[in-house]
A and B are shown apart, each in its own frame.
Chain A
Amino acid sequence: MTQRLLPISIFAALMAVIPLIPGMPPFWIVLLNNIGLAALVAMGLVLLTGVGGLTSFGQAAFCGFGAYTTAVLSTAYGVSPWLTLPLSLLVSGGAAVFLGLVTVRLSGHYLPLGTIAWGIGLFYLFSKLEFLGRNDGITGIPPLSIGTLKMLDAGTIYYAIWIAVLVCALLSMNLLDSRTGRAIRALRRGHIAAEAFGVQTPRAKLLVFIYAAVLAGLSGWLYAHFQRAANPTPFGAHAGIEYLFIAVVGGAGYVWGAVLGAGIVVILKEVLQSYLPLLFRGEGQLETIVFGIMLVLLLQLAPTGVWPWLMGRLPFKPARKRPDTSLTLPARERPAAASGALLKIDNARKQFGGVIAVNNVSFDVQAREIVALIGPNGAGKSTTFNLITGVLTATGGTISMQGRNIDNAPPQEVVKLGIARTFQHVKLVPDMSVLENVAIGAHLRGHSGAISSMLRLDRADEAKLLAEAARQIERVGLTDQIDQPAGSLSLGQQRIVEIARALCVDPTLLLLDEPAAGLRHMEKQRLAALLRTLRDGGMSVLLVEHDMGFVMDLADRIVVLDFGTKIAEGTPDAIKTNPDVIKAYLGAVA
């Protein structure tokens, strides 16, 4: 039994025994069933909101799709509940595809607002449609049955619910711990860095959205056969809010946080509903007041939730396995020296309204060459980088890589040609380990999709990716920090992590945006030595840097920009004495 599966097995065994305990009140089993049903929905929200950064208040509506699909088919058409399961999942997944295509592309707060709106719209639709029984819903749904065993009471369907919870938890954890999972986890920190390494961010967003909806649909299907009835109330806006509450309470970034959060909230709700009226002699809904206040307090005092707090209290830390660095990925073919221009920029131009950030700049980078792009602040250096890598679309001019035109190609296409980059403002995922961050760089060199990751069929592929990442980390000298969260490193080290991530692309051209900023003298020397080795190995480097000592020592050729225009180009010695360059930096001939 691996270390990963041991705690889950213990938990599963524990849950299996609970209904068998003599004298166990049936009401407790019902409560546990409700916890399991809520946990399934919250688990989807963990991936969607906590991990992917897409907040949805509308998950309850997907439960409704699952529940009503099986309710209609099994009552009106007498279809067996087991046959309606795939259909329930399909309907909720299909609804997610439609709503997702409309909403997930929205940035920031438009997405949650959109989910509130369609959540309420669907609730009213459920409660008005004739064939869904309007406000009364549908009753007389047949129970689940295996052979002659009919799951009529709470104690038997309990097993169906909790098996679903455990299987889904396992699948979710497998998904997160994979190539696709890293792409999803990178979404929360913005799309630019992920896209620079080939992640199709809209597709990754849609994927988690559908996954979360399918989990909610499964919960709805189980709910319908547990209650043997379906009506609109549990699929309304307030239920959607409650699911989000559960995820936040448990710890929105953690799969088991969903189960823990569901336990806490469902039990708390039960306690509040039975005792609050005694205390305050009021009419119902007092628990929503307490819930609302608690949600606000939780965000103010413990925004990460209960699960990470519990884990931090464990006396032992789960050890991480080091990747086997003997595995290798196929390497890219290197261009021979003196094979002509690798990157060619011809009259590139970028205007932001009236500001000309890059004004008809032309230069090239040869194979096996280190070129430095220098210039005062605001000269257009980073904008030039963004034009090359497809983050910005050029207003004019052409950019080509090895003879292939890449102007206005999306970042995901540019990286496929072997152009990898780092960012002036570090763009790592702070709560992911250094290894996982670097492995994002190898995204395009792996092939496993979401389904094979969930089923753990991706292990061979995954091991190679992690081996490559570990090798690049070793190359840049950060092996000691490999398991630390990237956010805990110093800024200089984080820049080095970005370089390792870029190296995972196996690039022919490496674009470095101020790689030496924040490094100490010794670290700068080591970086310079590394870049020389890379050049000698067949890589070209284009770097933006302000440290003149570092640049003059390292670069084969220097291009100088000022106010978006190229003012000089040449060897370091020529640039040092160029009067235009001196004027740009010092204001007058010094």
Chain B
Amino acid sequence: MNTTIMLFLVQDGITNGAIYALLGLALVLVFAVTRVILIPQGEFVTFGALTYATLSAGNMPGTARLAVAMGVVALGLDLYAGRRALHWRLVARAIAINILLPVAIYALTFWFAGKNTPIAVNIALSLLIVAAIGLSLYRLVFQPLAHTSVLVLLIASVGAHLALQGLGLVFFGAEGLRGPSISDAAFMIGPLRFTGQSIAVYAITIAFIVGLWLFFGFTLYGKALRATAVNRLGARLVGIRTTLSGQIAFLLASVIGALSGILIVPITTLYYDTGFLIGLKGFIAAIIGGLVSYPLTAVAALVVGTVEAFSSFYASNFKEVIVFTLILPVLVLRSLAAPEVEEEKD
């Protein structure tokens, strides 16, 4: 094997793997807090990327409207759920989160769209829009089901994925989009060329891994979020607001998803349905990490990225087959390490 080719492939694999790691982290985060296996994570990626690309092209993204629409429905649900004890603070809070926030984001987007906006503003707007969607998604889909089993949550998650992906087609069309890169800087180390974009990918990934690991391992609030996942009732009895925990988890996941999308859309063309596959590769990493360990997930994501890079070079036709079959030996290992007495609940 040619060393230069190998180095190229490894570099490519690590860049991809870093993105999968980010997504894998978000999946672990959401699962650890809400027990939701977040299939729509892929849609956060495409929404983030394509919103950014649309804004950069000077157009108004449809996702801004979606954020407002979801907020309106969420307000309705909030008011209906709290109808027996409606006092002004509850109503004010519900209106602030569900209506004022997305409308403000919409207004900002409307104001900036079309002008020659700086890249940083477009990125910020895209993140805000997807964050608002993520927040409402939890309220609409998962909060009413919070007490049910992992399987019901998973099926609901697949439903949300279908709806969001269909909406993605409506907003962005079937054509793929690309966005401008964050930085045009580049330098060479030996035969390898490092772009500012790929350095940004590495830096942001590492920052998130360390940040999440510190947050969940060493802060009281991080531990409170984890306690919610283990036992909702118990967490509520000791004063943890489980709904707030879920909202924070979805907020973080949607921001991470959108950010990954924004990071890769300058490198590859994204289509409305690309996110699903990218998200699933993050999943494979998350499953290898057992849906609990952040560092293990990150390492697994790098492995997935590298395997993908090598298989697209040597057997490009079977790239996806190889990547998705990677999960089978992992599952075998997990099933051999048989769990201790564990009773599934309905």
A→B interface (CB under 8 Å): 53, 55, 57, 102-103, 105-110, 112-114, 116-118, 120-121, 124-125, 128, 188-190, 192, 237-238, 241, 244-245, 248, 280, 282-296, 299-300, 303, 386, 391-392
Contacts and interface: CB of A to CB of B under 8 A. Distances in A.
Contacts of A117: 280, 283-284, 287, 324, 327-328
The majority secondary structure among interface residues of chain B is helix
Interface residues of B, number: 54
Contacts of B5: none
Interface string B152-163: 101110111111
B223 interface: no
Nearest to A53: B344
A46 to B, nearest CB: 14
Given A241-B162, A288-B163, A292-B163, A120 B169 contact: no
Contact of A282 (B170, B332, B334): B170
B235 interface: no
B169 A283 contact: yes
Contacts of A295: 155-156, 158-159, 162
Given A117-B280, A293-B163, A108 B334 contact: no
Nearest to B157: A296
B237 to A, nearest CB: 20
Given A102-B331, A106-B334, A300-B145, A118 B325 contact: yes
B331 A106 contact: yes
Interface string B123-159: 0000000000000000011001100101110111011
Given A103-B331, A107-B339, A299 B155 contact: yes
A110 B166 CA distance: 27
Contacts of B321: 121, 124-125, 128
Nearest to A294: B159
B154 A192 contact: no
B151 A112 contact: yes
A312 to B, nearest CB: 20
A244 B37 CA distance: 16
Nearest to B149: A108
A292 B154 CA distance: 13
A120 B280 contact: yes
B170 A244 contact: no
Given A113-B287, A299-B152, A293 B159 contact: yes
Closest 8 CB pairs of A and B: A292-B163, A292-B162, A295-B159, A121-B324, A289-B166, A288-B166, A124-B320, A105-B335
A288 B170 CA distance: 11
B151 A292 contact: no
B15 interface: no
A26 to B, nearest CB: 30
A418 to B, nearest CB: 23
A244 B156 CA distance: 11
Interface string B316-346: 0110110111011001101100110111111
Given A106-B334, A288-B165, 11 more contacts: A105-B335, A109-B37, A109-B291, A114-B328, A116-B283, A124-B321, A237-B276, A288-B166, A289-B163, A289-B166, A292-B163
A296 B152 contact: no
A192 B152 contact: no
Contact of B154 (A55, A107, A114, A294): A55
A286 B170 contact: yes
B144 A300 contact: yes
Contact of B334 (A110, A121, A241, A290): A110
B298 interface: no
Interface in B212-241: none
B327 A118 contact: yes
